[in-house]
Structure 1
Amino acid sequence: MTLSHTDQPWPTTGISFGGDYNPEQWDPSVWREDVALMRQAGVNMVSLGIFSWGLLETAEGVYDWAWFDEIVELLGENGIAIDLATPTAAPPSWLLAEHPEFPPVDHDMTQHWPGARLGWCPSNPDFRTHALRIVRAVAERYGSREHVVMWHVSNELGGGNGHCYCDVSAAAFRTWLEKKYGTVEKLNEAWGTAFWGHYYRSFKHILPPRGNDSKNPSLMLDFDRFSSDELLDHYLAERALLKEITPDLPVTTNFMVGAEPDAVDYARWAPHMDILANDHYTRSPDPVPQQDVAFSGDRMRSLTTDRRPWLLMEHSTSAVNWQPRNRAKNPGELIRDAISHVAHGSDGVMYFQWRASRAGAEQFHSGMVPHAGPDTKIFREVTALGGHLQRLAPVLGSRVPAAKVGILFDNEAGWAIRRGVKPNNFLPYGAAVRAWHAAFWRRGDGVDVLPPWNDYAGYDTLVVPQLFLVADDTAKRAEEFVAMGGTLIVTPFSGIVDENDQVRLGGYPGAFRDVLGVWTEEFYPLQEGETFRLDNGWNGREWTEHVHVAGADVIARYEGGPLDGEPAVTVRAHLGGGRAVYVSAGIDGDAIENLVAGLIEPDRGPVSDKIPGLEVGIRETDSDEFVFLINHGADDAELGIRGAELLTGRTVEDSLVVPAGDVRVVHRRKAA
């Protein structure tokens, strides 16, 4: 196997398959068994060196390369490419002992102690100096190796040091604010500091939002923005050094994109990645984990404007170890999850980690090789998956078709919702976004989960779920989308504040009031356990509003309670065929599906027409189409389709049976 990073657009010649490899945890006698098992499973790339700083640099400027040289050479000899990490996620114990000021400080001014991950303050320039020294040393020694095919900067940046409130960070925050606002007078205006008499006379008087007391939500939002920017600045410093030494190697870092607000603002980080990479883990209590897999893929794909393939850098073969109760995956679930990620745009399937650890904080996290060894369900499924991915080589580089449904997702809106007190403090941002995504996903519709500043052209429907913070430009572009014939759906608690986190006056939902043709006088949050009913039979909980109609038609009204007879769901028709729908109530999933089926997609038919449990995804090139069929159900699924089934190698003439719990991928040529 010949590997070269100078003549291939993707780091591997086929779909990337493997995981984090931590040979330092094992005696070298295990390494040759590892690479033999990797070859058996079809592994073609591993992420190496993520936590190896203290073993490579044993004292400042003193290096021990021998063991790392050996494993790098062993992987190369066996045709296994290396996604080589800069090991800055794990500063050495000797460094932290010499610099006890490096670890982050919590909002209550409690300093972190060594022993966790990412134990450093992103704003500390002295730490940056040490970090860049090890980056340069690793890059100069290994960057020219032919089978080192990409760079993996640090690890899950923000997942342990997302915020630091120390004095160094405070000074950096003040510099950031002065650059953003120019004058303290403009900052006072943006933050509304006249409330509670918090008016500032100088930038030097400003502190991060320390302590547990209520703080100005605008200050807290800017601190979230600052913290994301500080970590991005660190990434960019490492990236610049890597590009100086190895300009042809792609550079990335692993995101943690999901349904809740992220540790950092990944949508603004995405343009700085040569390859977008994501770590995704399903949650044990999740009633529909396969939809969460789809959601994360739909977000990852939409972080770029060209919808290019991304890389699943980490997920789990079975149970993780960091949830209250860690569910093991059912037979076949490992393969279904992996193929679903590929169906949603990933050109790689990577795991944490290759071999389950004997010791340490994640010793009960599943691995590709479990504690019981290779004669196990997990490793047999890993090997079967490796064979599947080899047969899916023609899929490499294809893309998921552009969707007709767009759902807006914005970290700043999510941060603003959870910062400061709200009318209802039990409205998790991600739950609202996923509820609307689920309605389209269950219907088999393609969905893009996109940042608000992406282009809306090409979408038929644009959903704005709980987008609490909305910039003027986003509101204007939503109006233009409706004027061009699109259907806009706005849900509760959207458009309430501007980009400075100040309430838009004149009635809610301020940013979308005119396009919707309604205005809300007062919120009526429900108490725990309370529900409501609408006059068309829809139900819900958590949220209702006193809505006034100003040009819209009423679809449903509240039935009973203090808002009896008042509008709950409205639609306003616009010239050009566009429509603007306002859902003022926290309707449940069935009601959302009914709204989608009856108002948005009346010609599609009910969800019951779909094969239960069968997820269908499509990737395509100009000439070819790949249909992914993932049967999450308990029964075999049969559907009419023609083409070449890639996983079994069979030709499908008229219909195909997808066994319960299994997957199939049909390759077919597009009509000329």
Structure 2
Amino acid sequence: MDPRTSRGRLPLPQRGIAFGGDYNPEQWPRETWAEDVRLMREAGVDLVAVNVFGWAEIERAPGEYRFEDLDHVMDLLHEHGIAVNLGTGTSTPPPWLTTRHPEILPVTRDGGTVSPGGRQAWCPSSPVLRDHAERLVRTVAERYGEHPALALWHVSNELGCHNALCYCDESAAAFRRWLAQRYGTVDALNAAWGTSFWSQRYGSFEEVLPPRATASPENPTQVLDFRRFSSDALLDWYHAEAAILRATTTTPVTTNFMVTAHIATQDYRAWAPHMDVVANDHYLDHRLPDPWAELAFAADATRGLADGAPWMLMEASHGAVNWQPRNIAKRPGELERMVLTHVARGADAVCFFQWRASRAGAEQFHSALLPHAGTESTQWRATLRLGALLDSLDDVAGSTVTSDVALLFDWQAWWATDAPGHPTQDVRYLDEVHAMHAALRRSGAGVDVVAPGADLSGYRLVVVPTLFLVADEAAAALERYVDAGGHLLVTYFSGIVDEHDHVRTGGYPGAFRDVLGLRTDEFFPLDAGQRVALDDGGTGQVWTERVETRGATVESRFTDGPVAGLPAVTRHEHGAGVARYVATRLDTPDRDGLAARALADAGVEPVLAGAPATVDAVRRRDEASSYLFVVNHGSEPFVAHAPGVELLSGRTADTHEVPGGGVAVVREQSTTDRRSGQEATA
């Protein structure tokens, strides 16, 4: 069974939800290790990541390998029944390598060379580094490929977190090769890049450079293609390591994604099919206006990358991180709410950075399962409770989420939308994506996050937030979906350019004019802080445009601002379906109202009837059971009507009170079970 396409359990030896984190024994004296594994067992830890940053420990000098410590750790973990997610160790080269070969260091856009001393100080296109890294991977794979503790291979670590874009000469040569493969001829490149503008026509691929610092704005398609190339270069790095591992062992291979608001450099949609397990790292980001909403979106998006199958949370934080301007510790109940939000949305493994808090180094104040204060601490007691909580959910493993609503999300559209030179810099792709996902969630809907061009036939409603860049075929798929009876909701600045970042002429919103039954001939972005009123009592900000209906009916109009009297929200019956358009960034209450209307029109029922906007309800199912997750982000208790057994407490009842800030997971009683129970009572 191929774990990349199956909807079964993760290919890990544990039954149930795996629990653990990064284990870095090299930071501690050997006498600490026995205590570590004893406490891991006490906490219920059954999976740890080892050797993630092990290169300098294993290879002290070129070709001189030292495995005694790692051998001991692997054996010790196995003796205590703890499985290993084994890193290849290549995430950061050792100082001896950067000293001997400074040409492997990445170069910034303005020509500066990044110094070693942090992590990931390497160019993804460096053949010198690739050669050294592949030798290390082959040596590690041959030594540990048959070790009984090995459960999963972990390629590098957070590929591209710090070195995704390198502008060195080696990267430039690799970029040219990538372009030649993509376009075939320099004439095709010139057409795709629109190089007739500003005298940029190329005579050969050898004339092309990465989009380094320029005296004026760069060619936007050149920048877009460089982002595509850079993502592919890191994926190629993954392929090189994975090929060695797969040729040597049969253990599944993955790497940790960063599906999160502050990392935009990897197109994980292109990466996901090559993972044996889809794994994600996610940390609550308190720089955002609503970190919990972003968490829910990221978990849904990761499930989408896994094609709906269970996935792995490879890193999260037990408490505070150390890299935000203000590192907020988790308050009582927040750890459980965070973990169950991920599990509800498909995670079958929950792991943390890290096991034991570091005494030294750049992350010494990052929280851990075992804190600086040791076992006489609130954090350790929370770790014990978390292990017991996850043990109570073992039966949930392997179940999946099925939703009636899809939200389209695309990394390449993100890159293109946030580029300079647009009508306003206040339109940021993730702002609208997050806002629409949050509105659907507050309305009680379950949401799948899928790619443009995905199969939409199973969804009642498809939401398309600010999809500025979209290929013709993906746009045609949306029109076919509506023709067949689907309901579509599209927001402003969508369908404007094709995959080459070329504007579709003939009027906006370009690719979606026909299905939406309207045409726009000019945009009127708003000034900072400016709001416009709608005749249904709503308000909008950031964006307006001059909409002319061509078959669509008007649900609301602007009553002031630059396009007063013109449509703000429209509805168009197209084929057997319905397509709505929103020509402004609605304020939160109005966006929530629109989402509720669109869901009702499409016949989408809430996951849990009667749940307020502060309560997240998600349902996972397998062939035998249905599991309702209820996460109460509010301060008031909520009573969920869901007959069944609440797994965290073991209580069986028809209703379950979830306190403010609390969680519940109900294995729901089926209709047959309830009927049988009533007959038995009678």
| TM-score, normalised via structure 1 length | 0.96
Indicate which of 79, 100, 103 corresponds to 1:101: 103
Q: Which residue of 2 aligns with 1:560?
A: 560
SS across alignment from 1:641 = strand
Q: Which residue of 2 aligns with 1:237?
A: 240
Q: Which residue of 2 aligns with 1:532?
A: 532
> In structure 1, what is the Cα distance between the partners aligned to 2:662 and 2:495?
43
SS across alignment from 1:238 = helix
Which deviates further from its counterpart, 175-184 or 261-270?
Answer: 261-270
Q: Which residue of 2 aligns with 1:328?
A: 329
> In structure 1, what is the Cα distance between the partners aligned to 2:597 and 2:232?
43
Are the counterparts in 2 of residues 86 and 152 from structure 1 also a CA contact under 8 Å? yes
Superposed displacement of residue 12, structure 1: 2.2
Q: Which residue of 2 aligns with 1:197?
A: 199
| TM-score, normalised via structure 2 length | 0.94
Report the AA paired with residue 594 of structure 1.
Answer: G
**Residues 76 and 261 (structure 1 numbering): CA distance in 2 closer, same or farther, change over 3 Å?**
closer
Are the counterparts in 2 of residues 539 and 591 from structure 1 also a CA contact under 8 Å? yes
How is 1:21-36 mapped onto 2 (pairs within 5 angstroms)?
21-36=23-38
SS across alignment from 1:58 = strand
> In structure 1, what is the Cα distance between the partners aligned to 2:588 and 2:267?
28
Report the AA paired with residue 636 of structure 2.
Answer: D
SS across alignment from 2:313 = strand
Which deviates further from its counterpart, 594-603 or 492-501?
Answer: 594-603
Q: Which residue of 2 aligns with 1:160?
A: 162
Report the AA paired with residue 227 of structure 1.
Answer: S
1:265 equivalenced with 2:267 (yes/no):
yes
Q: Which residue of 2 aligns with 1:218?
A: 221
Are the counterparts in 2 of residues 629 and 665 from structure 1 also a CA contact under 8 Å? yes
Superposed displacement of residue 419, structure 1: 2.6
- Deviation string, structure 1 residues 592-645 (Cα, Å, up to 9, x no partner): 111122343167799994246322111111221111122222222222221122
Are the counterparts in 2 of residues 408 and 465 from structure 1 also a CA contact under 8 Å? yes
Report the AA paired with residue 496 of structure 2.
Answer: I
Report the AA paired with residue 551 of structure 2.
Answer: G
Q: Which residue of 1 aligns with 2:470?
A: 470
- Deviation string, structure 1 residues 397-424 (Cα, Å, up to 9, x no partner): 11112x1111110111111122332111
SS across alignment from 1:657 = strand
> In structure 1, what is the Cα distance between the partners aligned to 2:48 and 2:164?
26
1:389 equivalenced with 2:390 (yes/no):
yes
SS across alignment from 1:601 = helix
SS across alignment from 2:231 = helix
Report the AA paired with residue 27 of structure 2.
Answer: Q
SS across alignment from 1:627 = strand
> In structure 2, what is the Cα distance between the partners aligned to 1:419 and 1:641?
47
1:503 equivalenced with 2:497 (yes/no):
no
Indicate which of 173, 177, 180 corresponds to 2:179: 177
Q: Which residue of 2 aligns with 1:338?
A: 339
**Residues 261 and 46 (structure 1 numbering): CA distance in 2 closer, same or farther, change over 3 Å?**
closer
Q: Which residue of 2 aligns with 1:551?
A: 551
SS across alignment from 1:141 = helix
Q: Which residue of 2 aligns with 1:597?
A: 596
Superposed displacement of residue 671, structure 1: 4.3
Report the AA paired with residue 97 of structure 2.
Answer: L
Report the AA paired with residue 218 of structure 2.
Answer: K
Superposed displacement of residue 27, structure 1: 1.2
Please list every run of 5 or more consecutive structure 1 residues that lacks an aligned counterpart in the other structure: 1-6
1:414 equivalenced with 2:430 (yes/no):
no
Please list every run of 5 or more consecutive structure 2 residues that lacks an aligned counterpart in the other structure: 1-8, 673-682
SS across alignment from 1:94 = helix
Superposed displacement of residue 116, structure 1: 1.9
SS across alignment from 1:123 = coil
Report the AA paired with residue 598 of structure 1.
Answer: R
Residue correspondences, number: 661
Superposed displacement of residue 259, structure 1: 4.3
**Residues 604 and 409 (structure 1 numbering): CA distance in 2 closer, same or farther, change over 3 Å?**
closer
Are the counterparts in 2 of residues 538 and 591 from structure 1 also a CA contact under 8 Å? yes
How is 1:241-640 mapped onto 2 (pairs within 5 angstroms)?
241-246=244-249, 248-259=250-261, 262-305=264-307, 307-401=308-402, 403-576=403-576, 578-601=577-600, 609-611=610-612, 613-640=614-641
> In structure 2, what is the Cα distance between the partners aligned to 1:220 and 1:558?
36
**Residues 259 and 671 (structure 1 numbering): CA distance in 2 closer, same or farther, change over 3 Å?**
farther
Which deviates further from its counterpart, 545-554 or 654-663?
Answer: 654-663
- Deviation string, structure 1 residues 85-132 (Cα, Å, up to 9, x no partner): 011101111011101011111111111100122211111111111001
**Residues 484 and 260 (structure 1 numbering): CA distance in 2 closer, same or farther, change over 3 Å?**
farther
Report the AA paired with residue 338 of structure 1.
Answer: V
> In structure 2, what is the Cα distance between the partners aligned to 1:392 and 1:608?
24
> In structure 1, what is the Cα distance between the partners aligned to 2:598 and 2:69?
63
Are the counterparts in 1 of residues 180 and 186 from structure 2 also a CA contact under 8 Å? yes
Q: Which residue of 1 aligns with 2:658?
A: 658
Are the counterparts in 2 of residues 261 and 411 from structure 1 also a CA contact under 8 Å? no
> In structure 2, what is the Cα distance between the partners aligned to 1:565 and 1:599?
23
**Residues 287 and 211 (structure 1 numbering): CA distance in 2 closer, same or farther, change over 3 Å?**
closer
- Deviation string, structure 1 residues 361-415 (Cα, Å, up to 9, x no partner): 11111111111112222211111010111111111111112x1111110111111
Indicate which of 123, 146, 150 corresponds to 2:125: 123
**Residues 191 and 647 (structure 1 numbering): CA distance in 2 closer, same or farther, change over 3 Å?**
same
Which deviates further from its counterpart, 31-40 or 477-486?
Answer: 31-40
Superposed displacement of residue 19, structure 1: 0.4
Q: Which residue of 2 aligns with 1:187?
A: 189
Q: Share of identical aligned residues, percent?
A: 50
SS across alignment from 1:319 = coil
**Residues 435 and 81 (structure 1 numbering): CA distance in 2 closer, same or farther, change over 3 Å?**
same
Are the counterparts in 2 of residues 332 and 381 from structure 1 also a CA contact under 8 Å? no
> In structure 2, what is the Cα distance between the partners aligned to 1:519 and 1:260?
34
> In structure 1, what is the Cα distance between the partners aligned to 2:130 and 2:618?
43
Are the counterparts in 2 of residues 270 and 304 from structure 1 also a CA contact under 8 Å? yes
SS across alignment from 1:47 = strand
> In structure 2, what is the Cα distance between the partners aligned to 1:453 and 1:219?
24
**Residues 180 and 226 (structure 1 numbering): CA distance in 2 closer, same or farther, change over 3 Å?**
same
Report the AA paired with residue 98 of structure 2.
Answer: L
SS across alignment from 2:504 = coil
SS across alignment from 2:103 = coil
SS across alignment from 1:71 = helix
Are the counterparts in 1 of residues 643 and 655 from structure 2 also a CA contact under 8 Å? yes
> In structure 2, what is the Cα distance between the partners aligned to 1:211 and 1:338?
42
- Deviation string, structure 1 residues 518-577 (Cα, Å, up to 9, x no partner): 11111111111111111111112111101111111111111112211011111111232x
> In structure 2, what is the Cα distance between the partners aligned to 1:566 and 1:66?
74
> In structure 2, what is the Cα distance between the partners aligned to 1:10 and 1:55?
27
Superposed displacement of residue 669, structure 1: 4.7
Report the AA paired with residue 119 of structure 2.
Answer: R
SS across alignment from 1:274 = coil
Are the counterparts in 1 of residues 453 and 475 from structure 2 also a CA contact under 8 Å? no
> In structure 1, what is the Cα distance between the partners aligned to 2:431 and 2:192?
29
SS across alignment from 1:72 = helix
Q: Which residue of 2 aligns with 1:3?
A: none
**Residues 561 and 339 (structure 1 numbering): CA distance in 2 closer, same or farther, change over 3 Å?**
closer
> In structure 2, what is the Cα distance between the partners aligned to 1:34 and 1:115?
28
